[in-house]
């Protein structure tokens, strides 16, 4: 049997590795624009879902998602501290999570129960439009659960108090326990509840156990059974983003200016 020298074997292995790595990195570079496109599409689809414009799990193709999004949703960048719109930043390409971690465009967050580590100077909001009227405002939300950071959206009616929906597009909580944040039945429990009390303080919370219906128990949502830590995390993160370090200045400006 023909044997090869050690040098030949190492050389051959190195050549195989080189070819494979060129192939893998080439594929990564080539697929990057497609991945970015899919990421944008996924966000648009989540925003449309929480806005109630598509049903969860509805089979909607890319063209339809873009068409619905463009026809109904306006994305805006807002200054978190002042609540004012920032017109010179393109909302379509604005990456809030990246902005938060860049010292030029973000800052470390003050200590908070949602365990949000960095705050962007500017954040994105989505408005659902009916002609010139804003019918819903959709806010990005994020914070720690038990195992992971949950990322999602909270939709408010035009009174910026009544909750229209909540959704999470990324998390690593346990399926069947904390992962029940994705359960449509649980998400439906948020609809019609009130984010703030009469004095304007953030009041909505996820409790341990069962809440009443939105009319009789407007500020509480059922906890996820066996997942108290995730439930508490969701409570804290919603409260954080509705609060003074989150979107409170924007919501105050929205109330004052009517949009």
Q: Indicate which single residue of 41, 79, 174, 217 sits in contact with ligand FMN (rule: CB under 6 A).
A: 174
Q: Which whole-number Å values give the CA distances from 31 to 39, 121, 149, in the listed order?
A: 12, 31, 26
79/182 with CB nearer ligand FMN: 182
118/169 with CB nearer ligand FMN: 169
Structure-block tokens of residue 69:
């999004």
Distance CA 157, CA 163 (A): 6
Q: Note whether 169 and 195 are within 8 A (CB).
A: no
Q: Indicate which single residue of 83, 143, 178, 218 sits in contact with ligand FMN (rule: CB under 6 A).
A: 178
Q: Indicate which single residue of 122, 230, 235, 239 sits in contact with ligand FMN (rule: CB under 6 A).
A: 230
Interface with ligand FMN (CB under 6 A), residue total 12
Q: Pairing mode, if any, of strands 220-221 and 205-206?
A: parallel
Q: Which DSSP helix (H) or strand (E) runs through 94?
A: none
The answer to whether 239 contacts ligand FMN (rule: CB under 6 A) is no
Residues 142-161 that bind ligand FMN (CB under 6 A): 146-147
128/238 with CB nearer ligand FMN: 238
The backbone torsions φ and ψ at residue 49, rounded to the nearest 5 degrees and listed phi first, read -65, -50
Binding site for ligand FMN (CB under 6 A): 146-147, 173-174, 177-178, 225-230
């Amino acid at each position: 049997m023909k044997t090869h020298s050690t040098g030949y074997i190492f050389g051959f292995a190195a050549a195989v590795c080189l070819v494979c790595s060129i192939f893998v990195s080439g594929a990564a570079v080539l697929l990057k624009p497609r991945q970015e496109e899919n990421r944008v599409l996924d966000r648009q689809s989540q925003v449309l879902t929480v806005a109630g414009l598509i049903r969860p799990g509805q089979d909607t193709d890319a063209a339809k998602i873009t068409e619905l999004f463009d026809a109904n949703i306006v994305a805006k960048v807002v200054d978190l501290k002042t609540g004012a719109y920032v017109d010179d930043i393109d909302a379509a390409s604005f990456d809030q999570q990246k902005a938060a971690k860049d010292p030029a465009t973000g800052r470390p967050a003050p200590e908070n129960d949602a365990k949000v580590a960095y705050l962007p100077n500017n954040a994105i909001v989505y408005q659902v439009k009916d002609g010139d009227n804003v019918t819903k405002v959709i806010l990005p939300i994020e914070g720690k659960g038990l195992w992971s950071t949950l990322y999602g959206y909270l939709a408010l009616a035009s009174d910026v108090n009544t909750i229209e929906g909540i959704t999470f597009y990324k998390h690593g909580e346990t399926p069947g326990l904390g992962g029940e944040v994705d359960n449509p039945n649980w998400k439906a429990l948020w609809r019609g509840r009130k984010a703030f009390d009469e004095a304007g303080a953030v009041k909505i919370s996820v409790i341990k156990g069962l809440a009443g219906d939105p009319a009789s128990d407007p500020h509480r949502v059922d906890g996820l059974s066996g997942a108290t830590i995730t439930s508490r995390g969701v409570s804290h993160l919603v409260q954080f983003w509705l609060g003074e370090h989150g979107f409170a200045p924007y919501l105050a400006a929205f109330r004052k200016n009517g949009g």
